[in-house]
């Protein structure tokens, strides 16, 4: 039995990113950007984020039996992420993302999911039954049935569960009863409650609705405004850290990976959010997704400055 490990269930991609002066309009070509190829996918990004922060991390994922799958596994191993449960589908390509990032760090992303859609509930159950995690972190970039199985099985095993509902898609409402910490951004929060939200008061009301449906805590990431933590007992807005933003790709993944790692280390939710805010701030000050994830000494140094 492996003790005090984090299991991340999610997608693994190769990202093709072009940095441009501005995002082109429909039918327009913008010339003059530069190019990076790197590891991506929310599962892989969050696993790397946690591993760099010193947490024993396993990734449960699916890639194709192709050169990009080889590349994903090689990078993950180099980052210290255990890949024993990164499965391979010989019939589908590894997930691919095409990303454009403008001079202000804003981005647009298109994803060809490929092997992501092959990750099954059976695969997930096999991994979790063996690993018995202390914390589970999962997103919505793999099939909903597999997400449901991951959360349900993890709770049966006594793990703390984190659901990052991104990219948003509908899921069974009763899935929230297996979620200890729900981590949407503002847009995802509005989609979760099927209504427009305007400001902190609306975010608190929406979060409390999600608590009534079963979630134990809701942490809404607010970009430069920090993060809003709502539990049944209280709510608190925890400020962000001021940095020069160059690329926001992967910021949410940095936050979630750091949040999970902080909970593994025994921090309170409020302390964990502050730690995650620092990790996300460092990530947006660098280019790339997985490659922008900070190390623990860097996060502690930034926290020490405040």
Catalytic residues: 253
**HSE, side-chain direction, 13 A CA sphere, residue 131:** 29
Radius of gyration from C-alpha coordinates of the chain: 18
Phi-psi region for residue 106, left (φ > 0), alpha (ψ -120 to 50) or beta? beta
Contact criterion met (CB below 8 Å) for 228 and 207? yes
User: SS3 sequence, the chain?
Assistant: CCCCCEEEECCCEEEEEEECCCCCCCCCCCCCCEEEEEEECHHHHHHHHHHHCCCCEEEEEEEECCHHHHHHHHHHHHCCCEEEEEEEECCCCCEEEEEEECCCCCEEEEEECHHHHHCCHHHHHHHHHHHCCCEEEECCCCCHHHHHHHHHHHHHCCCEEEECCCCCCCCCHHHHHHCCEECCEHHHHHHHHCCCCCCHHHHHHHHHHHHHCCCCEEEEECHHHCEEEEECCCEEEECCCCCCCCCCCCHHHHHHHHHHHHHHCCCCHHHHHHHHHHHHHHHHCCCCCHHHCCCHHHHHHHHHCC
CA angle centred on 167, ends 155 and 55, rounded to 5°: 50
């Amino acid at each position: 039995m492996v003790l005090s490990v984090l299991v991340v269930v999610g997608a693994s991609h190769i990202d093709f990113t072009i940095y441009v002066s501005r995002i082109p309009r429909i039918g327009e070509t913008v010339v003059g950007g530069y190019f990076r190829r790197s590891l991506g996918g929310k599962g892989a990004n969050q696993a790397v984020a946690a591993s760099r922060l010193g947490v024993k991390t396993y990734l449960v994922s699916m890639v194709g039996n192709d050169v990009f799958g080889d590349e994903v596994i090689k990078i993950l191993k180099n980052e210290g992420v255990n890949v024993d449960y990164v499965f391979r589908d010989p019939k589908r390509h590894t997930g691919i993302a095409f990303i454009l990032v403008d001079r202000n760090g804003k981005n647009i992303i298109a994803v060809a999911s490929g092997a992501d859609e092959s990750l099954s509930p059976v695969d997930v159950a096999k991994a979790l039954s063996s690993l018995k995690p202390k914390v589970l972190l999962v997103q919505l970039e793999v099939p909903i049935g597999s997400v449901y199985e991951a959360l349900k099985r993890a709770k049966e095993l006594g793990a703390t569960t984190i659901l990052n509902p991104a990219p948003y898609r509908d899921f069974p409402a009763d899935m929230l009863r297996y979620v200890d910490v729900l981590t949407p951004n503002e847009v995802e929060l509005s989609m979760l409650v099927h209504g427009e939200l305007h400001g902190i008061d609306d975010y608190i009301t929406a979060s409390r609705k999600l608590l009534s449906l079963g979630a134990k805590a809701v942490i809404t990431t607010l970009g430069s405004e920090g993060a809003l933590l709502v539990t049944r007992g209280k709510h608190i807005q925890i400020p962000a850290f001021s940095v020069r933003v160059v690329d926001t790709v992967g910021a949410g993944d940095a936050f979630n990976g750091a949040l999970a790692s902080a909970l593994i280390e025994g921090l309170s939710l409020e302390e964990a959010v502050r730690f995650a805010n620092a990790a996300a701030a460092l990530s947006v000050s660098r280019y790339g997704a997985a490659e922008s994830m900070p190390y623990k000494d860097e996060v502690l140094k930034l926290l020490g400055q405040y």
